[in-house]
Chains A and B, each alone.
Chain A
């Protein structure tokens, strides 16, 4: 790794749900213009980590730094105001709202001056125009911006969710399985989107189970296993089989092997 400042640094992050340790002393750093894969089996703690960074969960312990500054991310709103956008597994799109409303949800433009802003009078024309611009820039094709999300296909819904994150995430974008349940062509378009985010200098974290995607688009890979980081590697240095071995626990990688807990395998 070069000495470029980390966009996001996580140190000693812990999170428990009752007796279950979902995250145990996890460290992670994301860099501008890099894509980091977050790998691990189901229940390894990947989504929990994303939710701690994006303000959905409050971690029990640990530090999150954005641009080297310690931040208390108490809510999703705080995360968004720090330039951290997230595409959750569930997509977090609102079915009865249309495409424009989803892209601008909680980021609405208002009109009518100060009174309009206080009342929250929506500037629909401006938001529609900007939506066209955003989707055009990302090359996302939606049949009609006025269509409700519930009337869109799975791929289109995913595209809107990713488009929203890409549009607002000027610094950091967290993608939790963004191409799950997508067709081959649509999944390919998601990869293109990720590449264009990287090209724009955005720090990207990508959760996926698909090793092809990791080797195609990711620079670094971090592996979680039972809430602990068990490996962190340059994707160029390893094979897909190596990655799978890290995920299943057949092999452990780089960071501090002595911290490895004996007999932690199920």
Chain B
């Protein structure tokens, strides 16, 4: 036992680990973390005079990433099942209003509960129509996007609904445990639950199976209808919870809170290694992808890009991410 031999063994073990990962599932799941570090480093250098790397800005990025990440975790399950949920942004907005309304009358538990119930209900309707009427979820949820946006606009006549319940605000947004914002805690909690559900629960494995090969899953006796419906309920409920977090952070419910997050969320999930067409999913990747998207948003703003140019930049990034994801799929 001498030191060079030990170092050699360590190197060999590392190489073997990498080779094993590559054989077992490919290195694609790790791309998002490399991308996150790359973008962090890039902005740290480019924007070093604009305060990108300050503690307050990083905390800001974290707070912006929270609702994206919560929605992305839910969307991961929809995509894993080979469905898609385009209604999530609208559901987030409506949920912020529902939460604000219910908090005012019945307290903070009812506020969050009502929002989640509305989300799960919308997801249930999405799922039932997609499965029973056999309309692609793409179209069902596109229609639902319009319906829910309209309802949100009608609900308080385009006015913000203020939230004055301090408990609600502390738990779901403005509060913090020591230096750690409650938004970050919720992000970690939702991400952890999502990861465990995907990997440790039968339902998570069945969602992935249905998304990978629906007829094979059906031939093995899996109730594919139930899986698809519950996957769409999960994405909508997660979007509702994102609405609760946005309402908590801004102390209002409003008809457009989170409404424009749809594309950001899809990009975050796909960058994170989830296949847009089902069968491959990563919750941890979706959370990391959300941080990437929040960093990009933040960095583009600090770089002084106008809103119009930010939109263009985000669109280009989404197309690149999806292109990468599809190339990967063809190779395997």
Contact A86 B219 (CB under 8 A): yes
Q: Give chain B's interface secondary structure class.
A: helix
Contact B24 A92 (CB under 8 A): no
Asked whether A92 and B200 contact (CB < 8 A) given A108-B205, A147-B23, A147-B24, the answer is: no
Shortest B69–chain A CB gap in Å is: 23
Contact B279 A75 (CB under 8 A): no
Contact A97 B209 (CB under 8 A): yes
Asked whether A97 and B208 contact (CB < 8 A) given A56-B218, A76-B221, the answer is: yes
Counting CB contacts under 8 A, is B213 at the interface?
yes
Question: How many positions in chain A have a CB within 8 Å of any CB in the partner chain?
Answer: 35
Contact B332 A150 (CB under 8 A): yes
Counting CB contacts under 8 A, is B206 at the interface?
yes
The tally of CB-CB contacts under 8 A between chains A and B is: 82
Q: Which of B207-247 contact A (CB under 8 A)?
A: 208-209, 212-213, 215-223
Shortest B105–chain A CB gap in Å is: 33
- CB-CB contacts of A55-96 with B at 8 A, as 1s and 0s? 110000000000000000001110110000010101111111
The docked-state distance in angstroms from the alpha carbon of A247 to that of B272 is 53
Contact B212 A94 (CB under 8 A): yes
Counting CB contacts under 8 A, is A264 at the interface?
no
- Residues of chain A within 8 A of B200, CB atoms compared: 121-122, 124
Contact B24 A120 (CB under 8 A): no
- CB-CB contacts of B267-298 with A at 8 A, as 1s and 0s? 00000000000011000000000000000000
Contact B24 A144 (CB under 8 A): yes
The docked-state distance in angstroms from the alpha carbon of A94 to that of B223 is 15
Contact A122 B205 (CB under 8 A): yes
Shortest A19–chain B CB gap in Å is: 23
- Residues of chain B within 8 A of A80, CB atoms compared: 220-221
Counting CB contacts under 8 A, is B157 at the interface?
no
Counting CB contacts under 8 A, is B201 at the interface?
yes
Cross-chain contact of A96 among B212, B215, B220 (Cβ < 8 A): B212
Counting CB contacts under 8 A, is B203 at the interface?
yes
The docked-state distance in angstroms from the alpha carbon of A146 to that of B23 is 10
Contact B220 A148 (CB under 8 A): no
Contact B279 A95 (CB under 8 A): yes
Q: Chain A: residues with CB nearer than 8 A to chain B? A: 54-56, 75-77, 79-80, 86, 88, 90-98, 101, 105-106, 108, 110, 119-122, 124, 144, 146-148, 150-151
The 10 closest A-B pairs by CB, nearest first: A120-B202, A77-B221, A92-B216, A76-B221, A92-B219, A94-B209, A120-B201, A106-B220, A108-B202, A106-B221
Q: Chain B: residues with CB nearer than 8 A to chain A? A: 20, 23-25, 200-203, 205-206, 208-209, 212-213, 215-223, 279-280, 332
